[in-house]
Amino acid sequence: MRQSATQETPQQQAHTFRTSPQAGTKQRRGRENRRQKAASTIPHRSLTKQLVAVFVVIIGAAILFLGIATTTLMRQYMLSSTDADLRNSGYSVADRLLNDIENQRQIEGQTPYSFSNYYIYLSFGASPDVAVEPIEIRPSTSLRYGIPGNPEGIIKQALRGGEDAKVNRDPFTVAGENGRQKWRALVLDVKDEGGQVLGYAIIAQPLAPIMFTVTRLALIFGLLGVATMLAGTLAVSATISRTLRSLRDIERATQAIAAGDLTKRVPHDDDADEVGSLATSINTMLTQIEDAFADKERSEAQMRQFASDASHELRTPLATVKGYTELYRMNGVPEDKVADCMGRIESEASRMSELVEDLLQLTRMDEGRPLELESLSLTDVAEDSLYDLEARAPQRHSQLIGLQSPEPPNVIITADHNKVTQVIANLLSNVLAHTPEETPVELAVGIDNGWGIIEVRDHGPGISPEDSEKIFQRFYRTDTSRSRASGGSGLGLAIVAAIMGAHGGSAHAFETPGGGLTVQLAFPGASSDEIAMRAAGLLSPEESPAPAQSAEH
């Protein structure tokens, strides 16, 4: 079947679904921008405002609860006091008025009770033998508060079931005649000497003073509450702002770090609070991150320099080999020079092989491969190295001495025998390559504060102080020559530093007294053989010679 014009070929489909890395990066950036825009549309509420709002709500609720509780308790207390006053005064007032009626005294108009706060009402409808109209005595505050409304209704309200029922002797609240004021009333039954109920008396007091006091108290609480909330809000806002200032500093610091400034630190005054402790922890973390980035950049720079130097070192022998082979291929080498040409090719190949071996060894040391540690005599290794030196350069004067004595002590260390032999051999080879043939060589062995020390001393031309700080760097040469026989590749001392670092030791270079160069190697955890034997119980203190003295430099 014929394909339609719009149908894609498999190659076109593969091209359609294949996404380049640049396109993927653009898509990710687009998604991140959309997320940032979406996040920017969310209302931002500062932590300070949220904490202040929570404080205002809590304090407001506490003040409201305290105000309601206080005014309620005050109202109940004042009502209880009014009820107690009505109970205490009610019977005496009713008996006094009843005596006045029995003695036919005039009680209309002004009486001693007219100038009190009591409203008094007597109704004698309970006995047909007493033909006295109801008596009403208004208090002195009647013009302000009025009087209770419908006294007869109040009496009926106090009775249970009817007029003959027992009077309710508990005070209760009734409405005033104007409908606005409230009164607290107590209804009492009035009896004669025989106990016959003659009528009922109402003793009442206005509740307006109580309500006024409660209202005033509520108003005072309200004003104090508002003032407390305003003052508390200002104080809490200032305290929170001061406390959260470090958090804002942390935010600014992290923003600066996100922008690439790893030197930024969070300022803080005190570590006693949580924010100060957080700032300290963040600063510690930032220091570690900065150190890690610095180490990474330094390592990358060293790697780039290492690759550049290695390529340069390999380029020279390769160019030599290539030149000789092309010359030989073009029949440019005379018959009597062919052997010399092949010798040069072999020499440069050996140089490349040795360089590759050195690079491989440095790589292994960088990987942190484990050492074959054993207890060995540093003095014996130094003595063997001198034998090798005498075989290589019999014309040189060499000797093994102690750091501060003619005879070296037998220093015991824990190390890799092959690696220790190699570092001493590298140092001696360095002496042979850079000093005249008649220059003497000394190996000094001793102990300094628990460190096993061996120094390779020569009395040659030496090096400058600036070079002594750099000679352990890779591919560094004080001699600018590219010849392996004179200048070398600059890896020998770098291997020495790497091996000593793997042992937890160190390598330092300084000027030999009287001229020349001294390279000092320090191994940790050293002891003399006398100390080791005494620790094992093989040698008594009386038989032990004096311990080796520490070398001072």
Whole-number pLDDT of residue 3: 43
Would you say 270 and 276 are in contact if contact means Cβ atoms under 8 Å apart? Answer: yes
Q: Look at residues 469, 516, 461 and name the one whose alpha carbon lies nearest to residue 493.
A: 469
Strand stretches in 180-312, DSSP E: 182-191, 197-206
Say if residue 12's pLDDT is above 70.
no
Say if residue 506's pLDDT is above 50.
yes
Query: b/e for 86-99, b at 16 or more Cβ within 10 A?
Result: beebbeebbeebbe
268 Cβ contact partners less than 8 Å away, ≥ 6 residues apart: 246, 249, 275, 276, 279, 280
In this prediction, residues 473-502 reach a mean pLDDT of 68
Whole-number pLDDT of residue 1: 41
Query: For residue 125, how many C-alpha atoms fall within 13 Å in the half-sphere facing its CB?
Result: 11
In this prediction, residues 452-468 reach a mean pLDDT of 88
Distance CA 325, CA 341 (A): 9
In this prediction, residues 433-438 reach a mean pLDDT of 87
Weakest-pLDDT range from 46-60, 153-167, 399-413, 513-527: 153-167
In this prediction, residues 367-392 reach a mean pLDDT of 88
Cα–Cα distances (Å) from 413 to 505, 508, 521, 527, 536, in that order, read: 11, 19, 12, 7, 16
Would you say 313 and 489 are in contact if contact means Cβ atoms under 8 Å apart? Answer: yes
- CATH code of 105-207, in short, is 3.30.450
Whole-number pLDDT of residue 536: 42
Pick the more confident residue, 456 or 243: 456
Reduced to 3 states (helix: H, G, I; strand: E, B; else coil), residue 539 is coil
Weakest-pLDDT range from 36-40, 255-259, 324-328: 36-40
In this prediction, residues 395-405 reach a mean pLDDT of 89
Distance CA 505, CA 492 (A): 17
Distance CA 173, CA 78 (A): 13
Whole-number pLDDT of residue 532: 46
Reduced to 3 states (helix: H, G, I; strand: E, B; else coil), residue 83 is helix
CATH architecture of 260-369: Orthogonal Bundle (1.10)
Phi-psi domain of 537 (left: phi exceeds 0; alpha: psi -120 through 50; beta: other): left
Query: b/e for 469-489, b at 16 or more Cβ within 10 A?
Result: eebbbbbebbeeeeebeeebb
Say if residue 130's pLDDT is above 80.
no
Say if residue 21's pLDDT is above 50.
no
Weakest-pLDDT range from 20-29, 127-136, 387-396, 468-477: 20-29
Q: Which residue has the tokens 């924010």?
A: 275
- Which amino acid is it at 213? T
String of DSSP letters for 307-367: HHHHHHHHHHHHHHHHHHHHHHHTT-S-GGGHHHHHHHHHHHHHHHHHHHHHHHHHHHHHT
Whole-number pLDDT of residue 163: 45
In this prediction, residues 346-370 reach a mean pLDDT of 77
Weakest-pLDDT range from 179-193, 381-395, 474-488: 474-488
Pick the more confident residue, 387 or 488: 387
Q: Look at residues 547, 299, 292, 301 and name the one whose alpha carbon lies nearest to residue 412.
A: 547
In this prediction, residues 374-378 reach a mean pLDDT of 93
Residue 171 banded pLDDT, cuts 50, 70, 90: confident
Residue 172 banded pLDDT, cuts 50, 70, 90: confident
86 Cβ contact partners less than 8 Å away, ≥ 6 residues apart: 171, 184, 185, 186, 203, 204, 205
In the chain, where are the structural domains located? 105-207, 260-369, 372-536
Total length of the chain: 553
Whole-number pLDDT of residue 520: 94
Whole-number pLDDT of residue 55: 86
Residue 282 banded pLDDT, cuts 50, 70, 90: confident
Cα–Cα distances (Å) from 168 to 157, 191, 247, 288, 355, in that order, read: 9, 15, 69, 86, 120
Distance CA 229, CA 130 (A): 65
- Which amino acid is it at 472? F
Whole-number pLDDT of residue 440: 92
Dihedral sign of CA atoms 534, 540, 542, 543 in order:
negative
Say if residue 237's pLDDT is above 50.
yes
Contacts 24+ apart (CB under 8 A), 513-518: 514/459, 515/459, 515/460, 515/461, 515/462, 516/435, 516/439, 516/457, 516/458, 516/459, 516/460, 516/461, 516/462, 517/457, 517/458, 517/460, 517/462, 517/463, 517/468, 518/455, 518/456, 518/457, 518/458
Whole-number pLDDT of residue 519: 93
Distance CA 485, CA 481 (A): 9
- Which of 3.40.718.10, 3.30.565.10, 3.60.15.10, 3.40.50.720 is the CATH number of 372-536? 3.30.565.10
Beta strands 441-448 and 398-402: pairing type?
parallel
* Mean pLDDT across the chain: 76
Pick the more confident residue, 479 or 478: 478
Q: Look at residues 295, 249, 289 and name the one whose alpha carbon lies nearest to residue 268.
A: 249
Whole-number pLDDT of residue 26: 55
- Which amino acid is it at 347? S
Say if residue 131's pLDDT is above 70.
no
In this prediction, residues 72-85 reach a mean pLDDT of 89
Distance CA 53, CA 211 (A): 34
Would you say 79 and 210 are in contact if contact means Cβ atoms under 8 Å apart? Answer: yes
Whole-number pLDDT of residue 269: 66
